[in-house]
Each structure stands twice: as C-alpha cells, then as structure tokens.
Amino acid sequence: MIKGISASQGIAIAKAYRLEEINLNVTKRHVEDIEKEIIILEEAINKSVADLTILRDQTLKKLGKDKADIFDAHLLVIKDPEFMSQVIDKVRSEKVNADYALKEVRDMFVLMFEAMDNEYMRERSADIKDATNRILAKILKVKTNDLSLINEAVIIVANDLTPSDTAQMSKTYVKGFATNIGGRTSHSAIMARSLEIPAIVGTKTILEAVKDGEIIILDAVDGNIIVNPTDKEITAYQEKKQAYEAEKAELKLLIDQPTVTKDGVNIDIAANIGSPKDLNSVLEYGAEGIGLFRTEFLYMDKDDFPTEIEQFEAYKSVLEGMKGKPVVIRTLDIGGDKELPYLKLPKEMNPFLGYRAIRLCLDRKDIFKTQLRALLRASIYGNLRIMFPMIATIDEFVEAKIFLNQVKKELKQEAVAVSDTIQVGMMVEIPSAALLADNFAKIVDFFSIGTNDLIQYTFAADRMNQHVSYLYQPYNPSLLRLIKMVIDAAHKENKWVGMCGEMAGDEIAAPLLLGLGLDEFSMSATSILGVRKLMSQLSKKEMESLVNEALNKNNVTEVVELVKRRLG
C-alpha cells in the first residue's frame, strides 16, 4: 500500500495511465533505404495531423476558440510544404534517419524565427518546437501527454501535474489522479477539488511503483493506493465507494438550508473558485457567497494578458450568477507555484518569498489598472468585495487602496457606472500582517485569512515540498493564537473576518475556528455540506471553551486529542 496526502476526496478503481516526462533523444544514423525512411516520416506526420485535429476540435468544444487556435498553429507548421520538403531533401541528400533530419531542420527554423524582430514571429518558434516534437515522438515511438485524448476510464499517475494539465482532464474518463510531489494546498490539488476528481498527492513513489495499464485502487478518503489489488480488495473498496457516495447523497439534502449552529448562531459558508466555470458547483452545493475568486487562473489560461473586456465579462458573470450574494474577488496573485510564462519574470531562488502578488501589481501598475478597471465596471452587477493578496505592510495596503480610488475616479470621469458600496479588504497570509492586525483593522473593511500561505510562512515550510509537509500544522496552538489575534482585532473595529485557506473546510479545525469567532468559512464547494452538517451539531459557546483549552496546548497531537475527546 502506498500512502499520500488526500487532496480531493473520493474513491476510484481503474487502470493506471502514466504521464511520462517525454524524452526525445535523437541520434544521427546512416540509412540505405531512403524511401523507407520517408514513409516513416510521412506516417508520423499523418498520425500527428490526426491527433491535432481531434485535439483542436475537442478543445474548441470544451475551452473555446482561443485555446483551439494553439493546435491550429501546430497544424500549420506540420502542413507547411516548405518545411517538410527541406526535411525530405535532407534525408535524401545526406542519407540520414528521418528523426535526425527533422530535428536539424527544426533547429534551423527555430533559430531563424527567434532572430526575427517581430515578436509575433518570434513566438511562433514555440509552435514549431511543439509540433515537431509530436512528430518526433511518433517516429521514436514515445507516448505524448495528451490528457484530452484519453478515451477510457483511467487514473492518472504522474510526478506532478500543472494546473493546466488538471484543467484538460475530462471527468468522464479521468477517474482520479496520484502524484509523487505536491501537498494539500498545491494548486493542482485545489483544481482537483473543484473538478471533483479524487486525488492523492505527495506519495513520493507512485510513479515508480505502477506500470501503465495496471489496475489501482485510489482511496482518496484515507490517502491510500493499492496497486494490482486482489479480487477481495476490489470488492471491499467498491463497497466503501458506495457507502461514501451514499453519505454524499444524504448531505445533498442540506443544499438549500442555512448554516446554523446547535445554539442558533448563523455562520456563513462560502466557496472558493478559480473561474466562472466553477459557479455550477458553487450553486450545486448551496454556498452562501464566494469567499475567494482566485483571478490568476484567468491569466494562466491564456498566452497573453486577459483584456479589460475579457476580465469584465468573467467578473460580471460571477456577480450575476451569485444573484446579490457577496463575492470576494482577489486581485492578481501570481508567483509562488503559479507561473505566468508570458510575463517573462527571471527565475528566483525563493519564488514563494519573491516578486509576486501585490508586490508585482504595485510595481506593474499597468497590469493592476486593467484588472481594477474591469472589477469596478463589473461592480454594478452584484455584491462585489475586492481583496488584495499577500499584504505584508500597512503601506502596501494604503498604496493599493489609493490606486483603486484613483482608478474609480477616472472611470467616473469617463461616465462609467461604479458601485459605491464595494467593500475593500485584504488577505492575512503573512505573519507581519497578523501581528499588526489591530492597526490594519482600522483601515480595511474585512480580513480573509489565507492559511495556506500563513502556515507556510509561520512554520517556514514550503507548501510544495513534501519533505516538510509535516509542518503544515493548522491545529498548532501557535497558528491558533495568530488567528485569534486577527479575529479579535477585527471584531474590536466591527469588521468581519473570513478564512479562505484550506483550513476553513477541515473538520477538525472548523470547531476551533467557530470557537474563535470566525464569521465566514470559505472552502472548496465540495466541502460545504460536510461543514454545514458539522456546524449544526456544534454549540458556539462550547467551542469557545474548547478553543481556550486548545490555545494552551503544546502541539498538534494534544489539540487533536482534545477536539476528538470533546466532540465524541
């Protein structure tokens, strides 16, 4: 049995589909049978054209024209007569193998395109590389990673997955995934929860332990994977899967219910989203608002900055979809494990401590302004709350707020309607902000505690590094004390406090957070009903006394024992 971190709950039993790192090693060979070599090349080209056509059509249906255009660009390269005739000429004149000739001609074209003045032409070199890699992979008989071409039930096994890999997965065929690296709060894990695909991350060894096509059981309730299970194990897990799904169905009865504790206190449970597409599950699970819209995915899904209009449409659709319920939209939080290739930032030694989020936006006001304009224009379509990420100092918040007001003034001068009731708040995810929460509370409308980062910065443990994942300690009294400081400081100024880190949806943490007085719990939509049910079984008064005890414990074990003992 292989253990890992359960990143998205559920149970799946299916064949493993290994996502290999592609290795395209080409060596020069002398060939006598030139015609045979040309046939090999032509067959590889035909297969690539067929793959790309399917990919383009599927992408068009699922993700729209913008994304589908990428595959059209690849088709153009492959079908370019000038390019391919040079490859064939090389095979004939130099009597070399097709893959070598293709690579040589490719490298020459890439160099030529990269040297061009025109940026658009320079960028085409990436298309040439991608398209020719596909043909090379066919010649060398190396499997390429086209997740959207999968057409049977599988569990993806990989070293790691990028958020865009995860976004390409079709729920019809991809029954789950398991990775060697990553933690509960890595962004592929977060995407898995919003797609509701069972996932286990940080297994360290799953890729080495499984062959392509072997059956595996992915128990992403308890974080266990069984490779080549016995019939008995398969039956046992099929039963467990049924029981899990029955419980899920029972929870669905709570969808239209408010969240109220046993002693009658109302709590807000909101959802975290990454794109307007997530709205369906937000409504399906009966969220009382959106506590975090991670706008960076709007930027990561494209090969260039989204325009003001594109962003406006996205924000407007979410605000309208929520029909007046509060929607907290966070401004761009790029950096850390969320990269934006077209921003072309230099590689950093410590990306999580680097040039990211509000730091970057305050420096690149052009990028920031486009987003703020889009947000403000959308504000009249619902109940918008704007939130700045990664605030470390009072000066950063003040500068961001002044800039927001300036952009608002400009829009009004252009006679654009903007709401006058937008709340402006900040993420508390850096210890310096938590420690100065009393001063921040005077100038913000609300706080949202980002425990994913607050924990990594408090315990000095990279949230992507599985070797230090034991330091992801949401129940540690040190963290509980920091959270208490933030909540108490906000309440003193009559401001509300939410939490949008993964801790808010954790069933051991939720009783403690209720006791600390947290006003809004924002989580993956799929966790909402479980927490709603739990809240109905808890008394806020009792949780206050529970958390007072927890705050004085020494470590996580003592806190977990206490919670389990008190909740029976």
Q: List residues near ligand PEP by CB under 6 A.
A: 185, 292, 294, 333, 429, 450-453, 500-501
Is residue 361 annotated as part of the catalytic site, yes or no?
Answer: no
Answer with the entry of ligand PEP, Mg ion, none that 408 interacts with (C-beta below 5 to 8 A by kind): none
482 contacts 428 by C-beta, under 8 angstroms: no
479 contacts 508 by C-beta, under 8 angstroms: no
Residue nearest Mg ion (C-beta atom): 453
Calpha distance 466→499 (Å, rounded): 24
Least distance CB 96 / Mg ion (angstroms): 52
Looking at the Cβ atoms of 113 and 521, the one nearer to Mg ion is: 521
Calpha distance 399→405 (Å, rounded): 10
- Indicate the burial class of 325 (C-beta count within 10 angstroms; 0-12, 13-18, 19 or more): middle
Strands 215-219 and 11-19: antiparallel
Looking at the Cβ atoms of 219 and 502, the one nearer to Mg ion is: 502
Answer with the entry of Mg ion, ligand PEP, none that 174 interacts with (C-beta below 5 to 8 A by kind): none
Looking at the Cβ atoms of 206 and 328, the one nearer to ligand PEP is: 328
CA dihedral 198, 204, 208, 211 (to 10 degrees): -10
List contacts with Mg ion (CB under 5 A).
429, 450, 453
Calpha distance 307→372 (Å, rounded): 12
Looking at the Cβ atoms of 201 and 206, the one nearer to ligand PEP is: 201
Annotated catalytic residue: which of 30, 74, 187, 361? Answer: 187
Least distance CB 501 / ligand PEP (angstroms): 3
Answer with the entry of ligand PEP, Mg ion, none that 520 interacts with (C-beta below 5 to 8 A by kind): none
Looking at the Cβ atoms of 101 and 390, the one nearer to ligand PEP is: 390
Going by C-alpha positions, the residue among 480, 524, 422 that lies closest to residue 185 is 524
- Range 55-65 burial, b when 16+ CB lie within 10 A, else e: bbebbbeebee
Answer with the entry of ligand PEP, Mg ion, none that 268 interacts with (C-beta below 5 to 8 A by kind): none
Is residue 30 annotated as part of the catalytic site, yes or no?
Answer: no
Annotated catalytic residue: which of 30, 74, 491, 500? Answer: 500
Calpha distance 110→125 (Å, rounded): 5
Looking at the Cβ atoms of 56 and 330, the one nearer to ligand PEP is: 330
Calpha distance 529→264 (Å, rounded): 18
Answer with the entry of ligand PEP, Mg ion, none that 501 interacts with (C-beta below 5 to 8 A by kind): ligand PEP
Least distance CB 291 / ligand PEP (angstroms): 9
Least distance CB 541 / ligand PEP (angstroms): 28
Least distance CB 345 / ligand PEP (angstroms): 17
Strands 224-227 and 2-3: antiparallel
Answer with the entry of ligand PEP, Mg ion, none that 451 interacts with (C-beta below 5 to 8 A by kind): ligand PEP
Task: Report DSSP letters for 170-237, one per residue.
Answer: -TTTEEEEEESS--TTSHHHHHHHHHT--EEE--SSHHHH--TT-EEEEETTTTEEEES--HHHHHHH
Least distance CB 199 / ligand PEP (angstroms): 16
Point out the residues that are catalytic.
187, 500
